[in-house]
Structure 1
Amino acid sequence: MKKTAELQERTKSFALRILNLIEQLPNTIGGRVLANQLARSATSVGANYRAACRARSRAEFASKLGTVAEEADESLYWLELIRDGNFIPERRIASLVSEADELTAIFTSGRRSASRPQPSKIKRQTSSS
């Protein structure tokens, strides 16, 4: 439970930091496209993680974690475009690029773990013949 709360807070913080960052993008067609796309993907990371935490089954949890990983990776893509296009100096977005990369890795790993078959908890009876 503690890890869940920490990740919920971390994804919320990521979204808030992104929302502050996009205010610094230029008011150009390209800047607005990047701002809108990044805002959508970055805020979806936390929202979808919260939904995953309320999953009704292990399969649903794994599926939702896959969506979270995709949104985190998409956020990384938009951040790379901002950086590589020199819309914002790299030093100002480096920590967000790193965080997006870490979140992608965390949720990708979590999805893989959640997708693995779990050993049965039912003890098998041995026949005594």
Structure 2
Amino acid sequence: MDRRSFVKNAAAASVVATPLMEQETKFQFVHHVFFWLKNPDNKAEHDQLLQALRDLRKIPVIKHAHIGKPVVTEFDKAVTEGSYSFSVMLVFDSAKDEEAYLVHPLHKEFGKNNHHLWKKVVVYDSSLI
């Protein structure tokens, strides 16, 4: 590759690769919930809770949903909590929308049908400052 092509390609790449830290979040309200299964080795219970978490995404006030599992690497294991079974991060436009989610029939059904699966739940809510 000649110098002119290299410089042209490098300039184009720098426009596309905007550092994440420079991007401002549009998330106004985040509801992050961590679940510890009573029986983490029980595949049927694992799959039931996973599907139930996925079904919560049908609630219209949710703007974004991320369902995850713990990831702990050798690099960060001293400070990273990895004992939970699932986390779900739900994003709303406002605290009022999160309140609507909490009383939505699908959320109430989620708790009623699945509370027996977990031994512990921890919730972190935050709003944009």
The TM-score bracket by the shorter chain reads: 0.3 to 0.5
Q: Which has the higher helix share?
A: 1
TM-score w.r.t. length of structure 1: 0.35
Q: Which has the higher strand share?
A: 2
Structure of greater relative contact order (alpha carbons < 8 Å, 6+ residues apart): 2
Structure number with greater Rg is: 2
